[in-house]
Structure 1
Amino acid sequence: MRRSIIAVAVVVAAGFSGDVGAPAAGADVPALGPDFAFGVAQSGFQSEGHNRDSNWLRYGRQGKVGEPVGDTIDFYHRYAEDIDRAASLGVGIYRTSVEWSRVEPRRGHDDPAGWAFYDRVIRKVVDAGMRPMITLNHWVHPGWAVDLGGWNRPGMADDMVAFSKRVVDRYAWADPLWITFNEPTEYVRRELQYGGLTPQNVGRMADGIVSAQRSIYRHIHRVQPGAEVSSNFAYYPIAGVQDWLESVFPQRMRDTLDFVGVDHYYSFSVTDASVAHGATGEFWKSSQAPESIYYVLRRVAREFPGKPVRVVENGLATDPHGKRPDGYRRADHLRDTVYWLQRARQDGVDLRSYNYWSLTDNYEWGDYDSRFGLYTVDVGRDPALTRRPTDAVAAYRDITRAGGVPRGYRPTRPPIPCSLVDVPDSCANPAVVR
């Protein structure tokens, strides 16, 4: 999903000092192995359509974002065929979310039809041979919660926990991986940006999310022994930002994270600041340095020693025609990224899985311009909402079949020295293609 660009000063982060070692120069990069899982990701609001009243439905209708969501790619009616598409890729994880507003359109009154939809989705994922990764909050909450004050009121966390417990009780049988809050810092920022949160209540929302995380974590482990629970954190391409963000949520939540969930999309270096195009929403103009995921994973291994890591979201933005000014193709970006995943694991990072964002193009929080899908869908000009495979579909099938890119593969783009994703480590220990 799209990321906001925050203008900040870059500060020097602590040097890399973990136990991650480097193999001998010239060594090939081994496959990720049978214990590694590839996956795909999406969210309910961005893909389902036919949404119930919510904060984000209102933002669209109030003109606070570029365009309303409409019925997006109509996953609500086409979920079975899309899940089959995911299974055909050979992936083992299917990430989606349960929309609170769909199952509880009025406070205290659950909608059986809403629950039945998710019953069908989760059953289909399991029957297709994949493990669900269920997100409990992907920035969307019901309209009735907005009317009560949203995260400005102390009781919002309790309502969120009550909803989450019902989801957990209903779907624990599927042995899902759990994501409590999707990118909680972005959730806070967007609520503040669009008027759902007043500035004086930013701390209240942050504290409420942490409190809800703790309650949900305990409940999941009571209901589903051996469960894996986390929140996925947006890894910004500027070290100083990341230091601050980690103090807001990840470090406060670390005792309720069974793994560290990472989202990462864009790079930033002293020679390439094109990530600034995100400020205008033209994310496809932001150039890519796929080795930045390698730096991110090394940093996470250092900051959260002993915790496994899962890449919950990663992908490439193209324009509405599937193009990029730099000519980078989705298939090449995917292969290059997987190479660096293999390098990170080879160098000692306990990396367990990788999800591609996203299975299909969808609503990117305000418009349909940025395309991230393995399958492209032209919502604005194709009433049939045809799913058309990009070149990355075949590439992903090859990757999942082989457990990675083959020995001898070399990324299509050389690493950029001294990436600002993590300084000074990226300068002192630069990524090297082997």
Structure 2
Amino acid sequence: MSVSGGSPVFGRPRRARPVHLLSALGLAAALALTSASPATAAAPTATGKATTGKPATGKFPPGFLWGVATSGFQSEGSFPDSNWTRYADRKAGGATDPYGNSVDFRHRYPSDLKLARGLGANVFRTSIEWSRVEPRRGHRDPEAIAYYDDLVRRVKAAGMRPMLTLDHWVYPGWVADQGAWDNPRTQDDWLRNARFVVDRYKRQGVVWITFNEASAYIYKELTARPMDLGQMMKMRDALVRTHRAAYDMIHAVDPGAPVSSNVAYGSPVNGIFDAALFNEVTDKIDFIGIDYYYGANLQNGTAAYALMGEFWKIDPEPEGLYYVLRNYQRRLPNLPVYIVENGMATDNGKPRQDGYTRSDHLRDHIYWIQRAMADGVKMMGYNYWSLTDNYEWGSYRPRFGLYTVDALTDPSLARRPTDAVPTYRSIIANRGVPAGYVPVRKPGWCSIEDPVATCLGTTPTPPASYRRAA
């Protein structure tokens, strides 16, 4: 998972002065609330019919990109010196579990790719880790490069398209030693490595992600390094400049390849999340990449558990995704939308106390995506986070995997399928949920995702009895 539990205040550069994190979050929430966009399209009704007269749901088109996602650091194990191996060692940023060997994707990727393809997925997302490729300045590790070469080759051989992330919050230890993003040299170093990676995997149908969730990246650095406001703003501006340069470089080296930076949807503070990078690069993305895990409404304030890293305690808000998709599509009507990450945490793999299953969560979110498509959202792809459980930035306790792995207690690191494996396989094969599907989770009232539509009576109201679809 990539979504953080909160975000600092972002904006254009200004003189640094001390800011308390909670004050920053409060200001973020206030700004996000005041910047909420009104709905312009007709909302669905209780009958399951859109008020526009269009079908309530739309089937996913042939050729739709169905994927699974992971990241190198979180899953590979045997990781070289980096900012995050250091954070984990000193228990910075809330880390509680040692990194160890994670789920050993580095040596088990051939079999993991077979699991992904067995779902019917045609996209596999991971990251090409700078720390592994260039463990020392100017020295590229032949063994690491051979590993990534074989990984990309096997992804393609399995009939899947590579989605490669160039930066999933991890950089080499030598970059940390030179001051990380405080040092302008890091931008040049990053672009030099990115150019090497893009040149190596060009013309292979790659979908490129520059920075994973810039807002969460900055927030995690803020809590783990830590940084002051001046450093935070310097990092934000460096990411913006570097993404813009990377976009142009990728299109020059790998013409026609789609490029974006996925945005973390952050519920009340999303207006500030977008200011981390997204607002400054809307002319330098080829699709809208969205990560959606949770929302908030007046009946559901459990998103606050994200601030404590207890993601399994959050009550999901599947219908919020409908409004999020429409909002971003309204802002950039000419671009398609790709859900780069979506998933649900469980507490060490234990069932939720409310009985809501991973299958329920997956079907409900797919249902609301289909509703959004019926109302004009141009969907390009969907990735489930994640294929297997992995290291969730300091802990193995939150479990997001379609296949669960007991990284701390099972030396064999066996991949055990959850109930969502056959569910996702069926969704892909049938291009969505059935036309008569009724979500398990009832929509809440007055959603922060679209206050105007949902607080004034045009929200999708639940049927008299929500039931589990057969």
TM-score (norm 1): 0.96
* Change in 2 beyond 3 A, CA 1:85/1:411: same
Alpha-carbon distance, 1:68 to partner: 2.4
Tell me the equivalent position of 2:351: 323
Check conservation: 1:133, 1:179, Cα contact below 8 A: yes
Once residues 254 and 179 of structure 2 are traced to their aligned partners in structure 1, the CA distance between those partners, rounded to angstroms, is: 32
Trace 1:282-293 onto structure 2 (pairs within 5 A).
282-293=310-321
Alpha-carbon distance, 1:215 to partner: 1.3
Aligned residues, how many?
432
Trace 1:20-169 onto structure 2 (pairs within 5 A).
22=50, 27-64=55-92, 65-169=95-199
Once residues 314 and 246 of structure 1 are traced to their aligned partners in structure 2, the CA distance between those partners, rounded to angstroms, is: 18
Check conservation: 1:18, 1:301, Cα contact below 8 A: no
* Change in 2 beyond 3 A, CA 1:419/1:53: same
Residues 276-305 of structure 1 show CA distances to partners (whole Å, capped at 9, x for unaligned) of: 222332211110121111111011111222
1:430 aligns with one of 446, 455, 459: 459
Check conservation: 2:42, 2:52, Cα contact below 8 A: no
Tell me the equivalent position of 1:409: 437
Once residues 155 and 18 of structure 1 are traced to their aligned partners in structure 2, the CA distance between those partners, rounded to angstroms, is: 46
After superposition, the CA RMSD in angstroms is 1.8
Once residues 356 and 372 of structure 1 are traced to their aligned partners in structure 2, the CA distance between those partners, rounded to angstroms, is: 9
Give the residue type in structure 1 aligned to 2:277: F
Once residues 37 and 433 of structure 1 are traced to their aligned partners in structure 2, the CA distance between those partners, rounded to angstroms, is: 30
Check conservation: 1:16, 1:302, Cα contact below 8 A: no
Question: Which blocks of at least 5 consecutive residues in structure 1 are unaligned?
Answer: none
Check conservation: 2:336, 2:378, Cα contact below 8 A: yes
Give me the identity figure in percent. 47
1:213 aligns with one of 234, 243, 258: 243
Check conservation: 2:258, 2:287, Cα contact below 8 A: yes
Q: Which range is displaced more, 355-364 or 289-298?
A: 289-298
Once residues 194 and 187 of structure 2 are traced to their aligned partners in structure 1, the CA distance between those partners, rounded to angstroms, is: 10
Q: Which range is displaced more, 315-324 or 423-432?
A: 423-432
Tell me the equivalent position of 1:394: 422
Once residues 236 and 50 of structure 1 are traced to their aligned partners in structure 2, the CA distance between those partners, rounded to angstroms, is: 32
Tell me the equivalent position of 2:21: none
Check conservation: 1:20, 1:348, Cα contact below 8 A: no
1:14 lines up with 2:37 in the alignment:
yes
Residues 209-232 of structure 1 show CA distances to partners (whole Å, capped at 9, x for unaligned) of: 111111111111112221100000
Alpha-carbon distance, 1:66 to partner: 1.4
Give the residue type in structure 2 aligned to 1:16: A
Check conservation: 2:346, 2:398, Cα contact below 8 A: yes
Q: Which range is displaced more, 30-39 or 364-373?
A: 30-39
Alpha-carbon distance, 1:95 to partner: 0.4
Trace 1:299-378 onto structure 2 (pairs within 5 A).
299-378=327-406
Alpha-carbon distance, 1:27 to partner: 4.1
SS at 1:408's partner residue? coil
SS at 1:113's partner residue? helix
Tell me the equivalent position of 2:272: 244
Once residues 317 and 96 of structure 1 are traced to their aligned partners in structure 2, the CA distance between those partners, rounded to angstroms, is: 19
1:234 lines up with 2:257 in the alignment:
no
Give the residue type in structure 2 aligned to 1:373: G
Residues 220-245 of structure 1 show CA distances to partners (whole Å, capped at 9, x for unaligned) of: 1112221100000100111xx11222
